[in-house]
Amino acid sequence: MTCEVIFDLDKRQEELEKIEKIMSRADFWKKDQEEITRLSQQRASLEEKVDQWQNLRKDTEDARILAEMAVEEDDKATLDEVENDINRLQKEIKGLEFRSLLGDPDDMRNAIVAINAGAGGTEAQDWVEMLFRMYTRWSEDKGMQIKVIEYLPGDEAGIKNVTFTVVGAYVYGYLKSEHGIHRMVRISPFDATGRRHTSFASVSVLPEVDTDIKIEIDDKDLRIDTYRASGPGGQHVNKTSSAVRITHLPTGIVAQCQNEKSQHRNKEMAMKVLKAKLYEAEKGKLEQKKQQDHQSQKDIAWGSQIRSYVFNPYRMAKDHRTNVEIGDVERVMNGAIDLFIDAYLRLKVKG
């Protein structure tokens, strides 16, 4: 099977031509701003995909010609150079194939991630910190940026809950696979008797709502509370009531932020989180009848963990949706979760 078939190049070029015809019309820029933004983004995305394929095809042909010349001239140095080029091209093709699994319009968005400790006290709070570190390592390895919005430290160790944004290309598309309950089994370092403990943490992943999506919120439907922040941030955090909690009264949805320096910035970030939650809630209503949403609701219920991380009596990380297992659980905790993400996305595409 050729790469053209895998990435459906002909279909994407056809879609791009249709959009360009629409945008070339004289009355296009008189359309609704939302429609202009949507089509502009769609065109940019298609142009990127087509250009990537064209560049890969050119580089592959160049490597083939260079290899043939090197073989004829018995040029080992050039053959080594071609081998490096081929390895690079294989990685790029694999990356494009991975991107082809991300077809939802929200997949290209940034992500808002919230991790909350389940039952288990200090052990569960330590588990939240371990997961936060895992996603931080994964993001850093991908060149993505993390910004903490809300951080509540544990009573003795760890984190009770943390909310953060991850900024980068297709972040939500990747991290939506992490939405659900994560279970850890280990000998607890906080148990003097050395017993094995099972801890749970919930991971919630939402697409960050951009300005091109309008979420209408009436001011009278909001209750805004300020309070003193309790997380890291220096003396200023604890001396002023700069933290903001916003409650959307009709739905009961709550968003809060405490890590910015000013109350104004905290309110701005909390509103962004609230809009994302309202957007996801509305999207969930529209898709409620679909079987995949029934499965999603099952996935996020306590006792229906999506993945287990076992440190004792054996060492293994296993995703219960795809049955993918990795024996090196320490490597997973250092951010090596791509195998889980890839398997989940392929499963969703198969339906």
Lowest mean pLDDT among 113-122, 287-296, 297-306: 287-296
Range of the domain at 308: 107-212+304-350
Is 291 a member of any domain?
A: no
Residues 193 and 315 in one domain: yes
Q: Is the pLDDT of residue 129 over 90?
A: yes
The whole-angstrom separation of Cα 218 and Cα 220 is 5
Full DSSP string of 256-321: EE--SSSHHHHHHHHHHHHHHHHHHHHHHHHTTTSHHHHHHHHHTSTT--SEEEE-SSS-EEEETT
Question: Rg for the chain (alpha carbons), in Å?
Answer: 24
Joined together, the tokens standing for residue 143 give: 């060149």
Domain end (from 40, 68, 99): 99
Residues 204 and 223 in one domain: no
Identify the residue whose tokens are 């071609």. 82
Report pLDDT digits (tens) over 179-194.
999 999 999 998 888 8
Is 259 a member of any domain?
A: yes
Identify the CATH number of the domain in which residue 74 sits: 1.20.58.410
Residues 14 and 44 in one domain: yes
pTM: 0.66
Tally of domains within the chain: 3
